[in-house]
Chain A
């Protein structure tokens, strides 16, 4: 693929598709987890008035993935939310690659700074 066809317009179209796919996928997973959650816990009484924090299994990336594989309803919802948070991260990664193909190295650096902040936030342990 020639560098010419990688103009800004083309990149924007790909980014648009990426964002839409991420949101649809995330919403679908949250919906599935949500239905399971309501079937299993629908008749319990919620208490969100006092803050106690979510349990360990629902906080870190690896714990959530493990929990969702074990079909825990809350973990499946959390996995969907994680996919949603990952969508802008994927967008930034793609932008870095696109800027590199355009040989715009100043923007590759700028994009990697943004990516660094996002990954720090997502992977920093409590």
Chain B
């Protein structure tokens, strides 16, 4: 396989990953690393560097659309980014000191968890609660558009949410993923922020979080232009097509299929990591 064929195949795979990621809402980054590591035998550190960059591209592209609609809360996002960015630096520092096999095992476990999360049904909790003192001081409550006009919401559980955000940052820096699932968990479950606000604010935060560790990866020579070029362009194009199709398509079946694929990749990563093949 020469460079031209390698770039074309990796680009095509990334296009598919970005497409399915956008369509199912699970993000393409989560399958890019296993694809590069298992299918193309790319060293996992190069794979993580490339994935991290593609995560910035898709997050920024999607966030551009969401912020205009008025769903995301920039104060919640900015406040929690102090946790995710420091977490991302921690994750990137850990990645420098552990073996590729150890990273693969952690990656596999996160994939299994993502597959589990995506199989669960999500709904708005719709309970109107009092904002906690800390949330009030930080001015975290806000409004979002619904079919019946602007709906206001309050925020609570700030310390737990903040702690979970740090963990999300560590995973993002260690594995080169957006860890949107953990971010949504922190906002939606711990802080009781409406689901739609949680997902869009999470997306908004992913780019900044990934940029925090991407700088370190670049400085350490983990971002290779030859791999990252087809991955970034492929995932970006795929997610843009996916977002366009999303409006028309019924995605329930696809979502289960993608979750099953993530499950299989998770098991494969753990097996390869334990056997020391990566």
Contacts and interface: CB of A to CB of B under 8 A. Distances in A.
Say whether A and B bind each other: yes
B225 A77 contact: yes
A48 B42 contact: yes
Contact of A46 (B1, B138, B212, B216): B1
Contact of A88 (B138, B211, B224, B230): B211
B218 to A, nearest CB: 6
Given A16-B64, A38-B4, A45-B3, A87 B56 contact: yes
A121 interface: yes
A50 B187 CA distance: 39
A42 B60 contact: no
B41 A49 contact: yes
A69 interface: no
A85 B53 contact: yes
B35 interface: no
B232 interface: yes
Interface in A1-46: 8-9, 11-13, 15-17, 19-20, 22-23, 26-27, 30-31, 33-34, 37-38, 41-46
Nearest to A11: B74
Contacts of B72: 12
A42 B3 contact: yes
Contacts of A16: 63-68
A107 B75 contact: yes
Given A19-B63, A114-B208, A49 B78 contact: no
A19 B2 CA distance: 35
A89 B2 contact: no
Interface string A84-126: 1101110110010000000010110011011001101111111
A65 interface: no
B212 to A, nearest CB: 5
Chain A interface, DSSP helix/strand/loop, else mixed: helix
Given A111-B78, A118-B208, A125 B233 contact: no
Contacts of B113: none
Interface residues of A, number: 67
Given A43-B4, A58-B225, A12 B218 contact: no
A59 interface: yes
Nearest to A18: B64
Interface in A60-96: 60, 73-75, 77-78, 81-82, 84-85, 87-89, 91-92, 95
B255 interface: no
8 contacts: A20-B64, A27-B233, A42-B7, A43-B3, A44-B3, A48-B42, A49-B41, A118-B212
Given A48-B227, A59-B218, A122-B218, 15 more contacts: A16-B63, A16-B67, A19-B61, A22-B60, A23-B57, A27-B232, A34-B229, A44-B2, A50-B43, A51-B46, A81-B225, A92-B78, A114-B78, A114-B82, A118-B85
Interface of B: 1-4, 6-7, 40-43, 45-46, 53, 56-57, 60-61, 63-68, 70, 72, 74-75, 78-79, 81-82, 85-86, 88-89, 92, 100, 138-139, 207-208, 210-216, 218-230, 232-233, 236
Interface of A: 8-9, 11-13, 15-17, 19-20, 22-23, 26-27, 30-31, 33-34, 37-38, 41-46, 48-51, 53-55, 58-60, 73-75, 77-78, 81-82, 84-85, 87-89, 91-92, 95, 104, 106-107, 110-111, 113-114, 117-118, 120-126
5 cross-chain pairs, A with B, having the tightest CB-CB distances, nearest first? A121-B215, A53-B221, A122-B215, A77-B225, A42-B4
